[in-house]
Amino acid sequence: MSIESLVKQFERRLVLVFWMRTAVWYCALWSFGLGVGVIAARTFVGTDAKRLAWGMLGFLGFVLAAWFDSRRQIPGRRELLAILDKENQAGGLVMAGESEPVGAWNGKASRLTLPVVAWDGRKSWTSLAVAAIFLTAAFLVPIPAETVRANQKLEIGKEVEKLEQKIETLKEEDLLDQKKTASLVEALQKVQQQAEGKDPQKSWEALDRIQETVTNNAKQAAENSVAKTEEMAKAQTLAEGLAAENNQLDEQTMNEATQELAKLAQQIMGQSGKGAEALNKELSEALKEALKSGKLSKEQLAELAKALKGSKQDILKQMDKLQKAGLIDPKTLKQCEKAGQCNGAGLAAFIKENKGSGSVGELMDAYGTGGTSRGRGDAKLNYGDASSEEGAKFKEKTLSSGAGSDLKNSQTIAVTNSAPQIEKGNTARPGALSGTQAGNGSAFQQTILPKHRGAVKRYFERQ
């Protein structure tokens, strides 16, 4: 083997050993670094471990960097020759070959052997193994959700966005004035800015309060709408009944009914909102006149019925919009739809049939409740003392929209043996001593820990 090829082979061996050695060290260091990073990211940022697994690609980069570094560590040609000379005990012949023609001494040089490059990699491999275990643990160890939340900003963007949409819907429908809208939006932004993971209850409670305000507004609006729709339906029914060509009401009843209709229409007009916009100026004047004279032409009655129907539709549309925005429930919408149903001809027949049994207004109230001859549908409701609602009425509480999914996605990580944290001033008392006064410290109070539950259960089961 010539000296030249010997040097090349020796260099290759050195590169290989240095590469492996450096790569193992680099990978061990990267494993430690990545492990620390993974734990930090999972703990403080709450990053998903699967996303962090992309960091494993760093190993490829480090193996590549180790290659370049190992090339840099290789001694120069003169040093390589010196090592070969020394290991072969060539007495300087190999080294001399670099600057002097060796000539006849070449034969001696050709008997050279390639030295072994031995790497004691126990320390390096151990370090890599420890680092790999650490990295694996960093990926797999469960991070308590409280720890994650406490160190990051509370993510309430979606909730805030939903609430903003609701507020915007109410604003569009003129159910919220500008000032109130601005204050609600400002409060939302403040909550979002100050939302912190370490105290999520505060933020959730604030959001709940805003949600409650918004929902209450919507509910109030819905209730008003239902009432208004009922009023309109009543007026529409009467107007349709009076406008019908084949109604056989006498003039007196007709006048009385027209006056009742005008009264109803005036009431609707007196209210703000969609119903008031329905009637034009001419019709309003005619209704004022009709209130005195009880006269309205059939065309005017038809026009009135049409106008009332149109405004009722508008209210229904508004209610539908509120329901879609999640501000009212479908039941309220259905209630509103039901309130808007009319049967003019039926009402006219009912008034004719029951003429003299009451005023037109009373007959209208009785219509649809079973009639005067069938049961007590027409009977007046006499209210006594109001019954107490205490203990019977549920206090409605609106959960945040995300609460449901949070519960669904939550999982039990561990059951602690430690005592549950109890807020100050709200200390639970043992059942047997509930309501008793602690007298001079003589009452023994024992906190039941979760780990004692089994024993307590068995105690009560023995018979």
Partner 1 sequence: MNLPTPEELKPAVQLASQALEQLDKILLGRTDLHRLVLVGILSRGHILLEGLPGVGKTALVKALGQLLSLEFKRVQFTPDLMPSDIVGAHILQENEAGGRDMVFHPGPVFTNILLADEINRASPKTQSALLEAMQEQSVTLLGTTRMLPDPFFVLASQNPIELEGTYPLPEAQLDRFLFKLNVTNVDVDVLDGIISTRRRGAPPVPSWTMSAENLSSVFAMLDRIFLPKPVSRYIARLVAATHPLHDESPDDIRAYVAYGASPRAAIAIAESARAVALLAGRPTVGFEDVKMVAEPVLNHRMILNYKAKFDQITTSGLIRNLLGKLEETGVKLPSDVKITQPA
The smaller minimum CB distance to partner 1, of residues 68 and 119, is found at 119
DSSP state of 113: -
Rounded to 5°, the CA angle 9-10-14 comes to: 120
> Judged by CB under 8 A, does residue 19 bind partner 1?
no
Backbone angles phi, psi at 236, to 5 degrees: -65, -45
Q: Contact with partner 1 (CB under 8 A): which of 31, 124, 253, 259? A: 124
Give strand pairing partners of 7: none
Q: Contact with partner 1 (CB under 8 A): which of 50, 54, 72, 118? A: 118
- CB proximity list for 354: less than 8 A, separation 6 or greater: 363, 366, 371, 372
Q: How far is the CB of 70 from partner 1 (least distance, A)?
A: 11
> Judged by CB under 8 A, does residue 353 bind partner 1?
no
- Mask for 62-91, x = binds partner 1 (CB under 8 A): -------------x--xx-xxx-xxxxxxx
For 384-411, give one letter per residue: b (16+ CB within 10 A) or e.
Answer: eeeeeeeeeeeeeeeebebeeeeeeeee
Q: How far is the CB of 60 from partner 1 (least distance, A)?
A: 24
> Judged by CB under 8 A, does residue 60 bind partner 1?
no
> Judged by CB under 8 A, does residue 18 bind partner 1?
yes
Q: How far is the CB of 24 from partner 1 (least distance, A)?
A: 11
Q: How far is the CB of 14 from partner 1 (least distance, A)?
A: 8
Q: How far is the CB of 132 from partner 1 (least distance, A)?
A: 20
187, 214, 220, 268 from 170: Cα distances, Å: 16, 8, 11, 22
C-alpha to C-alpha distance for 187 and 195, rounded to whole angstroms: 12
Residue whose pair of structure tokens reads 């010196």 in the numeric block? 82
Rounded to 5°, the CA angle 184-185-189 comes to: 115
- Tokens representing 61 are 């980069």
Total of residues contacting partner 1 (CB under 8 A): 39
Q: How far is the CB of 81 from partner 1 (least distance, A)?
A: 7
Residues 88-117 that bind partner 1 (CB under 8 A): 88-93, 95-96, 98-105, 113-117
The smaller minimum CB distance to partner 1, of residues 85 and 173, is found at 85
Interacting residues toward partner 1 by CB under 8 A: 17-18, 21, 75, 78-79, 81-83, 85-93, 95-96, 98-105, 113-121, 123-124
